């Protein structure tokens, strides 16, 4: 009986959060171990469907770097990186489109639909669909300057690596009205029809800003942002993050992620979250409990 009472109390704890977020949009960047391990894939699908069933509108943006690397290797093509960015020539871009827009995207869609009911379905798309993501070639020099921790010895052509120029949300609004859950591969296009491979964190940030979403949530393979002593920070402001970048507390691959968080907040998103995707149901634990399980970032 005590266990049953505890379950009831857990549901009651979630009630004010359900009331607060009903009708709101959450953009969720999906990647890392959460996208690779079977039990975590199931937990993610269940979390997303629960959000939808209680009236929250989830929009998923996914990565797929390891999967791209595996296919390139099988094809005898080498993966080359500069400062964490994949050099993407035309041949590599074709593989990126095939893997992200096809294999990875459709597997995520199928995994969600496996647990869904008839009235709710996930649907996959890339930035080309509905002209969702207008892109341009990434200014590599400016990008590395902003990231601060890497200086290429010479100006490099990264090929079909892009950045978001504009988000057209009309197709996402249609999906919301018809009870679909969008699953988006981070591939954009330009006026000439060129495709671009874009960092999924920045795509999630841009879509969150365009939708004025309540939250943008980033699933990672770390516990959250940490201070100099290695303690997880449960809540932090943009100004404090900028200080931590300046003093070297935040370095390496975390800089693009926190920059994406800052961009989303500056575009009107209410809160961003960096969560440990290795924890089953981390989304529910962060959103519907007082304690949370990661780092929330606010203005």
> Is 235's pLDDT higher than 90?
yes
Q: Which two tokens stand for residue 84?
A: 């964490």
Please report the pLDDT score of residue 154 as a whole number. Answer: 61
**pLDDT confidence of 147, banded at 50, 70, 90?**
confident
Residue 107 gets the label, from left (phi > 0), alpha (psi -120 to 50) or beta, of alpha
- pTM (2 decimals)? 0.94
What does the angle CA 185 – CA 187 – CA 191 come to, to the nearest 5 degrees?
145
The closest of 160, 136, 155 to 145, measured between CA atoms, is 155
Q: Are the C-beta atoms of residues 77 and 69 closer than 8 Å to each other?
A: no
| Average pLDDT taken over every residue of the chain | 93
pLDDT of residue 158: 93
Ordered structural domains, the chain, with CATH: 2-298 (3.40.1160.10)
Answer yes or no: are the C-beta atoms of 238 and 259 closer than 8 Å: no
Is the CA virtual torsion 87, 89, 95, 100 positive or negative?
Answer: positive
Between CA 15 and CA 24, with CA 19 as vertex, the angle to 5 degrees is 130
- Contact partners, residue 94, CB within 8 Å, separation at least 6: none
């Amino acid at each position: 009986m005590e266990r049953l009472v505890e379950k009831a109390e857990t549901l009651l704890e979630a009630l004010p959060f359900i009331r607060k977020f009903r009708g709101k949009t959450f953009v969720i960047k999906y990647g890392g171990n959460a996208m690779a391990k079977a039990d975590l894939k199931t937990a993610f699908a269940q979390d997303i469907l629960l959000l939808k069933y209680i009236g929250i509108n989830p929009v998923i943006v996914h990565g797929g770097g390891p999967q791209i690397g595996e296919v390139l290797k099988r094809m005898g093509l080498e993966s080359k990186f500069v400062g964490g960015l994949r050099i993407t020539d035309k041949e590599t871009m074709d593989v990126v489109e095939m893997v992200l827009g096809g294999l990875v995207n459709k597997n995520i869609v199928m995994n969600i639909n496996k647990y869904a009911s008839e009235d709710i379905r996930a649907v996959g798309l890339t930035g080309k669909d509905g002209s969702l993501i207008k892109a341009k070639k990434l200014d590599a020099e400016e990008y590395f300057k902003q990231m601060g921790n890497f200086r290429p010895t010479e100006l490099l052509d990264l090929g079909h690596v892009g950045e978001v120029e504009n988000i057209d949300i009309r197709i996402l609004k249609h999906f919301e009205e018809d009870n679909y859950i969008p699953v988006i591969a981070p591939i954009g296009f330009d006026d000439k029809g060129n495709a671009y491979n874009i960092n999924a964190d920045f795509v999630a940030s841009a879509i969150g800003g365009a939708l004025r979403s309540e939250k943008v949530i980033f699933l990672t393979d770390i516990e959250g942002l940490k201070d100099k002593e290695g303690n997880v920070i449960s809540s932090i402001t943009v100004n404090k993050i900028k200080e931590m970048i300046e003093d070297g507390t935040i370095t390496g691959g975390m800089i693009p992620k926190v920059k994406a968080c800052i961009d989303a907040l500056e575009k009107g998103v209410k809160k961003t979250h960096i969560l440990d995707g290795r924890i089953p149901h981390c989304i529910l634990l962060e959103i519907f409990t007082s304690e949370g399980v990661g780092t929330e970032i606010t203005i």
